Amino acid sequence: MTRLLRPMLGSLLLALAVASSSCRTGSRANDEHQAKSSISVENREFVDMGVYALRSGQRFRLGIATGHSTTVFGIPDYLVKAGDELQFICDPIGAVQEQVSERMTVFPGDYLVLVIYNGTCSVHATTLHA
């Protein structure tokens, strides 16, 4: 019986090794699609804000900006192709009045700053594409 189990155990270990290496390759592929553009959100309000990118009427969640702090979010590549126009929505958590920034043409590699203060949501680019 032991003679029968040894070849099966070897095959099982080989299958596990192949499966774990294929998972590792998948994570490397995901790393290549990380955001190259980013936005620093300076939230000067007391409330936390949900921050969204708005492109062609479609809303994409970037994250939550905690009140009285600065948070940096990556902007996914699929939102910034070749000079796409984006707006940013600042949605106060627990409140009903969201704020929308002006339109901004964003290129891959841009670094944006969004300031939330006194009921406004203002964005500008600090580093433009090369």
Minimum mean pLDDT range among 20-29, 59-68, 79-88: 20-29
Residue 72: its pLDDT value, please?
A: 96
| Contacts of 28-34 spanning 24+ positions with Cβ under 8 A | 33/76, 33/77, 34/74
The fourth-level CATH superfamily of domain 37-127 is: Domain of unknown function DUF5300 (2.60.40.2890)
Within 8 A by CB and 6+ apart from 35, the residues are 74, 75, 76, 77
pTM of full prediction above 0.95: no
Residue 96 pLDDT > 90, yes or no?
Answer: no
